[in-house]
Amino acid sequence: MRKTDFSGQTCPVARSLGEVGDWWSLLIVRDALNGVSRFSDFQRSLGCARNILSTRLAKLVEAGVMTTGPASDGSPYHEYRLTEKGKALRIVLVALRQWGEAHLFDDREERLQLVDVRDGEPVAPLELRAHDGRVLSVDDVGIQSAAGAVRLAGDEAPAAS
């Protein structure tokens, strides 16, 4: 299957998915945020084929999400490290995680919990907020074009977007 190039899209969601939208890439970033840095450790954690992992890691490095460097312990291995661009994906993964917790697990199912490292308390749900701090519902959000036209976020997008 050939991948569609979204780099020219005016939609930031499409461009973002074009860069890091496949599940392996997001799982690699998740693991890197949790301290994984070596190829073998990514492979052990993810259980994916070497060629897939190698391709995804190379793509993340090319996109500036990760960088490579010598192992911090002085061994002959290389490590993958998140750049600031890669670290900024934490909020995306937290949002995806919280959506999954709310919609894909039943209350009795065990799952890992995201906590504040300072005090061990659960992280609060993410919220959309207006420029003045008001909490926004999905129905309170619209999309504005450069020409100033506003449409509700749930409205059908034009075919060219």
Supply the pLDDT for residue 85.
97
21 pLDDT above the threshold of 90: no
> Which helix (H) or strand (E) element contains residue 26?
helix 23-33
117 pLDDT above the threshold of 90: yes
Model pLDDT for residues 43-97, shown as the tens digit of each residue: 999 999 999 999 999 999 999 999 999 988 888 889 999 999 999 999 999 999 9
Residue type, 89: L
Supply the pLDDT for residue 33.
96
112 pLDDT above the threshold of 70: yes
36 pLDDT above the threshold of 60: yes
158 pLDDT above the threshold of 80: no
Q: Give φ, ψ of 122 to 5 degrees.
A: -60, 145
Model pLDDT for residues 140-150, shown as the tens digit of each residue: 998 887 777 67
Strands (E), the chain: 66-70, 78-82, 128-129, 135-136, 142-144, 150-152
Supply the pLDDT for residue 14.
83
Nearest to 40 by CA among 75, 78, 74: 78
Cβ distance 82 to 29 under 8 Å?
yes
* Least confidently predicted of 11-15, 18-22, 103-107, 150-154: 150-154
Supply the pLDDT for residue 160.
45
128 pLDDT above the threshold of 90: yes
- Provide the pairing of β-strand 142-144 with 150-152: antiparallel
* Alpha carbons 95 and 62: distance in angstroms, whole number: 25
Supply the pLDDT for residue 75.
87
